[in-house]
């Protein structure tokens, strides 16, 4: 009964606007910090780190939805998947724009050299491109065009994108000898991936039992 009530509450029309506001809160906080000049001695690095962190956190939230839906029964969370995924990409776009503006001053040749010569930027760009594909195909028109099965295969790339983002994050922090925070995200992503493997094994075992 409690699960039914919780799903009913999560289906309420006010939930999506509330999630919108929560997702915009980190950006509003950053804007206020910029206006108050409270970004520290290296504002560009603070902005890059903050937007990158929120892109990764958004990915973690998206990957958490399936276990909550299938494992606990919070099926109403499915309606928030696209919203959270798009906000994750939104912060990834901000992350890329801040790099292009404050780090290389819109010098596209220099940016391309960074992509070719600095592995953590190469990996970050690959992750960004995957997220761009996922964002572009997250709408109903894309589902109709690709077909359900093909669309699902495309959107499984979110798992590869998450690991690429983690690798980008690790290499960036390794250069500063500060990787402790990375391992918290690795633990979260690895746990979610282990859950998916466990569910896959359960389905295969059930299918084998039916055949027998």
Q: Do 118 and 51 contact (CB within 8 A), yes or no?
A: no
Residue 188 pLDDT more than 80?
Answer: yes
What pLDDT, on a 0 to 100 scale, did the predictor assign at position 204? 78
Q: What mean pLDDT comes out for the span 114-143?
A: 92
CA proximity to 94, closest of 53, 60, 138, 130: 53
Please count the residues of the chain. 212
pLDDT score of 211 more than 80 = no
Q: What is the pLDDT of residue 165?
A: 95
Contact 95, 44 (CB under 8 A): no
- Is pLDDT of 1 > 70? no
What's the number of domains the chain is made of? 1
> pLDDT tens digits, residue range 47-59?
999 999 999 999 9
Domain that holds residue 125: 2-211
Statement: the pTM of the whole predicted model exceeds 0.85: yes
- CA triple 30-33-37, angle to 5 deg: 140
Measured distance CA(168)–CA(174) in Å, rounded: 10
The pLDDT mean for the chain works out to 90
For residue range 5-57, list pLDDT tens digits in order. Answer: 888 888 888 999 999 999 999 999 999 999 998 988 889 999 999 999 999 99
């Amino acid at each position: 009964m409690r699960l039914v009530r919780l799903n009913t509450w999560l289906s309420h029309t006010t939930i999506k606007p509330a999630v919108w506001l929560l997702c915009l809160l980190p950006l509003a906080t950053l804007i206020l910090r910029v206006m108050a000049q409270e970004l520290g001695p290296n504002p560009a690095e603070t902005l890059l780190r903050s937007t990158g962190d929120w892109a990764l956190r958004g990915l973690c939230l998206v990957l958490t939805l399936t276990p909550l839906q299938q494992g606990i029964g919070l099926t109403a969370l499915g309606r928030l998947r696209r919203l959270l995924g798009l906000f994750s990409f939104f912060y990834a776009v901000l992350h890329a724009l801040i790099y292009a503006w404050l780090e290389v001053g819109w010098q596209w040749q220099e940016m391309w050299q960074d992509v070719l010569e600095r592995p953590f930027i190469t990996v970050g760009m690959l992750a960004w491109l995957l997220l761009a594909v996922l964002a572009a195909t997250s709408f109903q028109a894309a589902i109709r065009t690709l077909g359900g099965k093909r669309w699902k295969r495309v959107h499984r790339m979110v798992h590869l994108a998450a690991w690429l983002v983690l690798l980008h994050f690790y290499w960036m922090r390794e250069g500063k000898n500060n990787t402790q925070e990375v391992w918290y995200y690795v633990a979260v992503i690895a746990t979610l991936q282990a859950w998916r493997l466990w569910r896959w094994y359960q389905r295969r075992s059930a299918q084998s039992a039916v055949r027998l």
